[in-house]
């Protein structure tokens, strides 16, 4: 009986100590999309990507307009030129369309690669700031807001991190 009582008290002591250890973990969450959109360096990054994208769109629109003009010219010539000449003109147009598609795909890939590189660089720059804040405020775990179902507003450190990043990169 003494053994059972002893094991019972040891078990209760063990469970009470485990709960205390788990209760000391500090968890917070952050919305990285807001950090990207509201920080100075994030806004610059998004602006750079938008400029590149708009330039690509403009170039593609010009190429598309050129292709439509070529198509209209071929349609106008259809009844005037011979069948062989018409087929050659259509073949040239198809080649131009094919080149247009390749160009468009290359632009999309290039923009995606640039975006990936710039975002990676952005997160490398802000990671030490976030890590420093976590160390200073004894935060053990930091979660992305998208992965949090529900949490207290005081656990959201997004605005604080935005201010810290802007303070660091303001100069």
pLDDT score at 81: 81
Per-residue pLDDT in tens (0 to 9) along the chain, 171 residues: 556 645 655 656 566 654 444 445 688 889 999 999 999 999 999 999 999 999 999 999 999 999 999 889 888 887 788 888 888 888 999 999 999 999 999 999 999 999 999 999 999 999 999 999 999 998 888 888 887 777 777 788 889 999 999 998 886
Q: Which residues form the domain of 74?
A: 2-169
Neighbours of 6 (CB within 10 A): 10
Predicted TM-score (pTM) of the model is 0.72
Is residue 45 within 8 A of residue 122, CB to CB? The reply is: yes
pLDDT score at 16: 61
- In 77-93, which positions are buried (b, 16+ CB within 10 angstroms) versus exposed (e)? eeeeeeeeebeebeeee
pLDDT score at 53: 95
Is residue 28 within 8 A of residue 139, CB to CB? The reply is: yes
- Structural domain total, the chain: 1
């Amino acid at each position: 009986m003494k053994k059972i009582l002893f094991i019972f008290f040891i078990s209760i002591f063990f469970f009470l100590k485990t709960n205390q250890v788990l209760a000391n973990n500090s968890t917070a969450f952050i919305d990285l999309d807001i950090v990207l959109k509201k920080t100075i360096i994030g806004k610059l990054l998004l602006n750079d990507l938008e400029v590149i994208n708009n330039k690509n769109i403009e170039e593609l629109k010009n190429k598309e307009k050129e292709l439509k003009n070529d198509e209209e010219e071929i349609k106008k010539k259809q009844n005037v030129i011979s069948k062989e000449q018409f087929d050659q003109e259509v073949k040239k147009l198809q080649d131009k369309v094919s080149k247009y598609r390749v160009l468009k795909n290359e632009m999309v890939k290039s923009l995606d690669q640039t975006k990936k590189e710039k975002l990676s660089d952005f997160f490398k720059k802000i990671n030490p700031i976030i890590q420093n804040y976590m160390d200073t405020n004894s935060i053990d775990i930091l979660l992305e807001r998208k992965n949090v179902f529900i949490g207290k507003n005081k656990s959201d450190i997004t605005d604080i991190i935005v201010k810290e990043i802007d303070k660091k990169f303001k100069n």
